[in-house]
């Protein structure tokens, strides 16, 4: 059977992941169909008028709605525990649509300093041009968040865990602060996915995703999504419908099939990452390992409470850039790329790639040292991943 939104409460996460939101045609297909069509047709001129007039629900044009995209949206909304989801062409388009839908000139945003680099570029270089100002604060400096909020602050934006240092922020605490000040809290849930953390259930108003990462999980397609209540999502959708960075039906199909195995994959990523992080902590030449699953992580207790797994991102620090590059260059199976959330493990040197644009002072502020290496732990045999790193570590 397919499960409609009225019945979501009756079913568990695993059931919703494989069945929520499925559209069925009269062909009786078992797997979800793809609808690669730009427009939709009507039985009569009167029906066309009713669709355009909004008196009859239904598809008009794939920039507005598409059945495959809707299946993905409903399934992700069910998994995040949100009323509605709006799918977008990329993770950045999800952040763009959220801000365009909910902000206006003169509004102010408070954003964690430890967010995806392009998010900062979007807020400063583009929203800044249109009179939306952003203040950046340290993710776990709760007094700093409170101090940064002004009368015109509309939105608090963060990622937890952050990337690459996997710091963990207390979502209920920041949600309470946001609501006391009349602001919305948006959480980019890219690193945890709903399989490990459901920010809406912890008090956040909006969840943002780059589906490009773990939701696909296999490095094939770009996409994004925003989830929240109907009223907020109507504003986000209104922007998307007019501006057009919508998700293609092909990509929606990839992502909705990705959701079916998301929990299994996130558990396996988390298991491999914990095993690798524990091993890395014991290796000579490693100054520090960053992983919320380790007891040595400052936010370990919070992560254990807030998340049902610690995720696949592990970072560690060696003496300097030469040592970091040597470890990266000695790998044989781990891919050298800044992407994350793939079945294939990836390794990157943030100081000279993702964070290369920052000044030395900004890097120091963000904790991005020259010896920092980040791994997105994939689903290979963990012993093979260890061996791949041991080669460079022992040189």
Number of residues that bind ligand PLP (CB under 6 A): 13
Distance between CA 95 and CA 74 in Å, rounded? 19
Question: Contacting ligand PLP (CB under 6 A), which of 91, 101, 161, 311?
Answer: 91
Residue 224 near ligand PLP by CB under 6 A: yes
SS3 167: coil
Tokens of 68: 């495959």
Residue 157 near ligand PLP by CB under 6 A: no
Question: To the nearest whole angstrom, how small is the minimum distance from the Cβ of residue 182 to ligand PLP?
Answer: 26
Residue 258 near ligand PLP by CB under 6 A: no
Question: Contacting ligand PLP (CB under 6 A), which of 90, 98, 197, 246?
Answer: 90
Do residues 58 and 282 lie in contact, with contact meaning Cβ atoms separated by under 8 Å? no
**Closer to ligand PLP by Cβ: residue 22 or 270:** 270
Question: To the nearest whole angstrom, how small is the minimum distance from the Cβ of residue 191 to ligand PLP?
Answer: 6
Question: To the nearest whole angstrom, how small is the minimum distance from the Cβ of residue 116 to ligand PLP?
Answer: 4
Site for ligand PLP in 102-141 (CB under 6 A): 116
**Closer to ligand PLP by Cβ: residue 311 or 392:** 311
Question: To the nearest whole angstrom, how small is the minimum distance from the Cβ of residue 120 to ligand PLP?
Answer: 11
**Closer to ligand PLP by Cβ: residue 84 or 160:** 160
**Helix intervals (H) in the chain:** 13-19, 45-53, 67-80, 91-102, 117-121, 142-148, 171-180, 193-196, 230-243, 249-281, 300-306, 321-329, 360-366, 382-393
Question: To the nearest whole angstrom, how small is the minimum distance from the Cβ of residue 30 to ligand PLP?
Answer: 30
Question: To the nearest whole angstrom, how small is the minimum distance from the Cβ of residue 268 to ligand PLP?
Answer: 19
Handedness of CA 320, 328, 189, 243 (dihedral sign): positive
CA angle (33 as vertex; 32, 39 as ends), nearest 5: 140
Question: Contacting ligand PLP (CB under 6 A), which of 32, 159, 299, 317?
Answer: 159
Q: How far is CA 167 from the centre of its chain?
A: 15
Segment interacting with ligand PLP, rule: CB under 6 A, options 9-17, 85-93, 247-255, 314-322? 85-93
CB atoms within 10 A of CB 356: 12
Residue 190 near ligand PLP by CB under 6 A: yes
Distance between CA 331 and CA 255 in Å, rounded? 30
Residue 392 near ligand PLP by CB under 6 A: no
Residue 226 near ligand PLP by CB under 6 A: no
Do residues 348 and 336 lie in contact, with contact meaning Cβ atoms separated by under 8 Å? yes
Question: To the nearest whole angstrom, how small is the minimum distance from the Cβ of residue 186 to ligand PLP?
Answer: 11
Segment interacting with ligand PLP, rule: CB under 6 A, options 84-92, 138-146, 322-330, 360-368? 84-92
Tokens of 344: 């294939």
Distance between CA 75 and CA 35 in Å, rounded? 17
End-to-end, the C-alpha distance of the chain in Å comes to 57
CB atoms within 10 A of CB 130: 13
Segment interacting with ligand PLP, rule: CB under 6 A, options 88-96, 103-111, 267-275, 328-336? 88-96
Question: To the nearest whole angstrom, how small is the minimum distance from the Cβ of residue 257 to ligand PLP?
Answer: 18
Distance between CA 349 and CA 114 in Å, rounded? 16
Distance between CA 301 and CA 180 in Å, rounded? 25
- The residues binding ligand PLP (CB under 6 A) are 90-92, 116, 159, 163, 188, 190, 210, 212-213, 222, 224
């Amino acid at each position: 059977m397919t499960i409609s939104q009225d019945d979501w409460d009756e079913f568990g996460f695993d059931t919703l992941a494989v069945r929520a939101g499925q559209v069925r045609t009269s062909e009786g297909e078992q797997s979800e169909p793809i609808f690669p069509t730009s427009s939709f047709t009507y039985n009569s001129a009167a029906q066309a008028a009713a669709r355009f007039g909004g008196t009859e629900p239904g598809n008009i044009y794939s920039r507005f709605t598409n059945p495959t995209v809707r299946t993905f949206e409903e399934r992700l909304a069910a998994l995040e525990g949100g009323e509605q989801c709006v799918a977008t062409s990329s993770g950045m388009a999800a952040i763009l649509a959220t801000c365009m839908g909910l902000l206006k000139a003169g509004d102010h945003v408070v954003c964690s300093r430890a967010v995806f680099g392009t998010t900062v570029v979007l807020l400063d270089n583009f929203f800044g041009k249109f009179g939306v100002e952003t203040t950046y604060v340290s993710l776990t400096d709760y007094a700093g968040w409170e101090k940064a909020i002004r009368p015109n602050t509309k939105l608090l934006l963060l990622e937890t865990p952050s990337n690459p240092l996997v710091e963990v922020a207390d979502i209920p605490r920041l949600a309470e602060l946001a609501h006391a000040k009349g602001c919305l809290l948006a959480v980019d849930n890219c690193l945890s996915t709903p399989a490990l953390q459901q920010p809406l259930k912890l008090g956040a108003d909006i969840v943002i995703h780059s589906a490009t990462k773990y939701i696909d999980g296999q490095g094939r397609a770009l996409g994004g999504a925003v989830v929240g209540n109907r009223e907020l999502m109507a504003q986000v959708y209104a922007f998307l419908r007019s501006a057009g960075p919508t998700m293609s039906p092909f990509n929606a199909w990839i992502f909705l099939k990705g959701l079916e195995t998301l929990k299994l994959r996130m558990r396996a990523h988390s298991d491999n990452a914990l095993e690798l992080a524990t091993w890395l902590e014991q290796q000579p030449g490693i100054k520090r390992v960053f992983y919320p699953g380790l007891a040595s992580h400052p936010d370990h207790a919070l992560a254990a409470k807030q998340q049902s797994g610690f995720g696949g991102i592990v970072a560690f620090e060696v003496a300097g850039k030469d040592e970091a590059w040597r470890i990266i260059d000695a790998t044989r199976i781990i891919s050298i790329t800044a992407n994350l959330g793939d079945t294939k493990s990836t390794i990157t040197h943030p100081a000279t790639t993702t964070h290369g644009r920052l000044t030395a002072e900004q890097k120091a502020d963000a904790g991005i040292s020259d010896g920092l290496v980040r791994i997105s732990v994939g689903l290979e045999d963990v012993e093979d991943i260890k061996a791949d790193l041991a080669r460079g570590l022992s040189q």
